[in-house]
């Protein structure tokens, strides 16, 4: 369920707007195809609920007719989104998981989400499917799930939420010229927002990001020393920065797979599954114009983190946050 996040004073009057997910509701949806969403948004100041806009539609009803006119990759997108409404037992004949090649162009797909948001599970599943099936030819979609905190007071505290991701999303809103933060929100390569209700636009944005210039980023072998299992080590390097701007180099440590049984809040009694759930996001250096970057890094693991359930993402991004210039992902050596 999209959520508006209040920033500054006097903004409550600005929070009332029609949400995209609500606006797709139509009078011709048959009752057997519907499910309620408790409310589309609330006033952030005093948490008073606005009367529900009663979004009623399965994911398949939310897809625009124009998406059917797209190419074969778009049809795969359509298939992935339609499958969000299918039970698990009916998904046995889907495409097999894809293995990106080294020649594929990296595209970073960030999802801002929360376990307290009732409209977020379909986006969580979409990100999982983009990660698994890699539907854009020639692209390596590097996904990151970043769980925000502003839903934590509504009955369920997301165990993976952090203020760092709330602040990062807020910075994106400023950079993208938006007034409020909401979930779910998907941002591609730091510059474009996409909606899971518009598969054609999503395909166009991902293809455009794939075709843009990239700075090669490499991650050396990622290891966890058996004598010191609480520390992860790796080497990150890039080619020369031929962009017009200096950039920052980040590493994100993410859990490969997370499952959660939600006990309270809007997703009460739902079993949620997430991929690439970011636990740490650290700026490790700068990549100046015309220069290369090379640095050994080490990250302290949280107690109980299984190195086999981790992935390490390194990316180069213009300040702002701005455009992604390059990225890579790998997993610790077994």
pLDDT at 245: 87
CATH number at residue 321: 2.60.40
Q: Give a yes or no: residue 264 inside a domain.
A: yes
- Cα 12 to Cα 45: distance, rounded to the nearest angstrom: 6
For 324, the domain range is: 217-330
In the chain, % of residues over pLDDT 70: 71
Q: What is the mean pLDDT of the chain?
A: 78
User: 30 or 334: which carries more pLDDT confidence?
Assistant: 334
**Which strands sit side by side in the sheet containing 247-261, from one edge to the other?**
192-194, 185-188, 105-113, 139-147, 271-287, 247-261, 310-317, 324-330
Question: Poorest-confidence range of 10-14, 190-194, 252-256, 302-306?
Answer: 10-14
Q: How far apart are CA 22 and CA 180, in angstroms?
A: 17
**Rg for the chain (alpha carbons), in Å?**
20
Quote the CA–CA distance of 207 and 76 in Å, as a whole number.
Answer: 14
Predicted confidence at residue 333, as pLDDT, reads 76
Kindly state whether residue 276 falls inside one of the protein's structural domains: yes
pLDDT tens, 43-76? 233 332 322 222 222 222 233 323 322 334 444 5
Beta bridge pairs of residue 186: 111, 194
For the record, the structure tokens of 124 come out as 């969580």
Share of the chain above pLDDT 90, in %: 60
Strand 105-113, strand 139-147: pairing:
parallel
User: Does 195 reside within a domain?
Assistant: no
First-last CA distance in the chain: 38
Cis amide linkage into residue 285, ω under 30° from 0:
no
pLDDT tens, residue by residue, 294-322: 999 999 999 888 989 999 999 999 998 99
243, part of any domain: yes
- How confident is the model at residue 37, as a pLDDT? 36
Average pLDDT of span 180-201: 93
Lowest mean pLDDT, pick from 5-9, 57-61, 211-215: 57-61
At 97 the pLDDT is 81
**How many other C-beta atoms can be found within 10 angstroms of the C-beta atom of residue 215?**
21
CA distance 140 to 2: 28
Does 221 fall in a domain? yes
- Residue 136 within a domain: no
* Structural tokens at position 321: 């946050």
- The count of structural domains within the chain is 1
For the whole model, what pTM was predicted? 0.75
Residue of 100, 96, 94, 99 whose CA lies nearest to 78: 94
Judged against a pLDDT cut of 50, whether residue 232 lies above it is answered with yes
Q: What is the 3 state secondary structure string of the chain?
A: CCCCECCCCCCHHHCCCCCHHHHCCCCCCCHHHCCCCCCCCECCCCCCECCCCCCCCCHHHHCCHHHHHCCHHHHHHHHHHHHHHCCHHHCCCCCCCCCCCCCCEEEEEEEEECCCCCCHHHHHHHHHHHHHHCCCCCEEEEEEEEECCCCCCCCCCCCCCCHHHHHHHHHHHHHHCCCCECCCEEEECCCEEECCCCHHHHHHHHHHHHHCCCCCEEECCCEECCCCCCEEEEEEEECCCCCCCCEEEEEEEEEEEEEEECCCCCCCCCEEEEEEEEEEEEEEEEECCCCCEEEEEEEECCCCCCHHHEEEEEEEECCCCCCEEEEEEECCCC
Mean pLDDT of 6-13: 37
Q: Are 158 and 147 in contact (CB under 8 A)?
A: yes
Flag whether 115 is in a domain: no
> What's the rounded mean pLDDT across residues 151-177?
95
Q: Does residue 178 lie in a domain region?
A: no
């Amino acid at each position: 369920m999209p959520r508006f996040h209040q920033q500054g004073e006097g903004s409550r009057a600005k929070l009332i707007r029609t949400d995209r997910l609500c606006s797709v509701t139509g009078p011709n949806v048959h009752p057997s195809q519907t499910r309620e969403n408790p409310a589309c948004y609330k006033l952030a100041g005093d948490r008073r609920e606005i009367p529900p806009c009663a979004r009623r539609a399965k994911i398949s009803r939310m897809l625009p007719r124009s998406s059917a006119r797209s190419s074969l990759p778009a049809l795969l997108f359509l298939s992935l989104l339609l499958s969000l409404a299918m039970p698990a037992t009916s998904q046995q004949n889907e495409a097999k998981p894809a293995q990106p090649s080294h020649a594929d162009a990296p595209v970073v797909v960030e999802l801002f989400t929360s376990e307290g948001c009732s409209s977020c599970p379909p986006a969580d599943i979409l990100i999982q499917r983009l990660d698994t099936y890699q539907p854009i030819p020639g692209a390596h979609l590097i996904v990151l799930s970043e769980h925000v905190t502003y839903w934590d007071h509504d009955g369920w505290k997301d165990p993976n939420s952090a203020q760092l991701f709330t602040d990062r999303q807020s910075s994106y809103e400023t950079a993208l010229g938006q007034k409020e933060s909401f979930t779910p929100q998907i941002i591609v390569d730091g510059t474009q927002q996409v909606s899971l209700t518009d598969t054609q636009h999503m395909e166009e944005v991902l293809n455009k990001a794939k075709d843009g210039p990239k700075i090669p980023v490499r991650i050396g072998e990622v290891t966890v020393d058996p004598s010191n299992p609480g520390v992860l080590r790796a080497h990150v390097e890039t080619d020369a920065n031929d962009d017009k701007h200096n950039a920052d180099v980040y590493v994100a440590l993410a859990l490969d797979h997370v499952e959660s049984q939600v006990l309270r809040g809007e997703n009460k009694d739902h079993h949620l599954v997430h991929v690439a759930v970011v636990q740490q996001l650290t700026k490790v250096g700068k990549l100046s114009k015309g220069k290369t970057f090379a640095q050994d890094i080490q990250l302290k693991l949280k107690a109980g983190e299984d190195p086999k359930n981790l992935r390490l993402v390194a990316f180069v991004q213009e300040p702002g946050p701005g455009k992604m210039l390059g990225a890579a992902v790998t997993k610790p050596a077994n």
